[in-house]
Amino acid sequence: MTTAQTRIGFIGGGNMAYAIVGGLLQAGHSAACVHVSDPSDTQLQRFEELNPGIVTGGDNAATLAVADVLVIAVKPQLIEDVLRPLGNADRPDQQLVISIAAGVKLDSLLDLLAPTRSIVRVMPNQPALVGAGMAVLTATPETTGEQRDLAQYVAEATGRTEWIDDEGLMDAVTAVSGSGPAYFYLLMELMEAAARDMGLSPQLAAVLARQTAFGAGRVAVESDLGLAKLRESVTSKDGTTAAALATFEQEGIRDIVDRALRAARDRSIELGAQMSAGNDD
């Protein structure tokens, strides 16, 4: 069986699942080998419209029973209610489970999915919706090399992937790439507002902020230069860019960013601890 024929089941049919399925189909995965379960007919209809070959339904156990790879794509607060009833359900031998539920740790997943031991936890981010995502993966020790390759295949359907061995670093990942798009949106929002205040039309202000962010991001990804070098390449001595950057520095932007990301990481740790405590009850 080729990877494109691997039966991949999704429990939960929200936006991230939809993005992953769309990426898999674009990569050549067989629609007939994609199964999606969700209680909402409206959600399922989106997949049917995406490709009528996708198998859809409301029975999570049926999806579990056929999936060589099972993707858990439900909200973290719902995961126990969704997975507990599946404890004794039939499932393929050597089934791989991939969870994209933010903050749900591997230990909690092992408890909820027993006897399954091959589990990969993935932290995706919102740009996955346009195929430009950043996903970080970590796995249980029982996950084989072949299963890790399958998990990477699924995650790469929406962008770039990286692996970490220390699950504890997932909180830092969440702070940087999971929450990170919102930081850039805020900066774009502020640039757009300042542009309007300086007399530019709302339409032009919006285009300038968005396209500048898009272009800078693309250069940063494609260039071999470090970010500091790229910044310096735009900054002439005593020029306009230097004036703006000096203001950022005077206002303590480095400390603000450091404190903001640490706050996001610490909140991720708190939420993970609360979820683990809830699963222990």
184-240 confidence digits (pLDDT tens): 999 999 999 999 999 999 999 999 999 999 999 999 999 999 999 999 999 999 999
Average pLDDT over residues 55-71: 96
| CB distance 37 to 11 below 8 Å | yes
Q: How confident is the model at residue 4 (pLDDT cuts 50, 70, 90)?
A: confident
Q: How far apart are CA 189 and CA 206, in angstroms?
A: 8
Point out which residues pair with 139 in neighbouring strands.
120
Element (H, E) at 202: helix 202-222
Flag whether pLDDT at 108 surpasses 60. yes
Of 120, 37, 127, 125, nearest in space to 82 by CA: 37
What domains can be seen in the chain, in order of their start residue? 3-168 (3.40.50.720), 178-261 (1.10.3730.10)
As given in the structure block, the two tokens for residue 47 are: 């997949």
21-40 confidence digits (pLDDT tens): 999 999 999 999 999 999 99
DSSP letters for 169-197:
GHHHHIIIIISHHHHHHHHHHHHHHHHHH
pLDDT for 280: 60
pLDDT for 88: 81
pTM: 0.92
Of 75, 72, 264, 219, nearest in space to 151 by CA: 72
Q: How confident is the model at residue 273 (pLDDT cuts 50, 70, 90)?
A: confident
Element (H, E) at 41: helix 41-50
What are the E-state strand segments in the chain? 8-11, 34-37, 55-57, 69-72, 96-99, 119-123, 133-139, 159-163
Q: How far apart are CA 180 and CA 183, in angstroms?
A: 5
Q: How far apart are CA 146 and CA 144, in angstroms?
A: 5
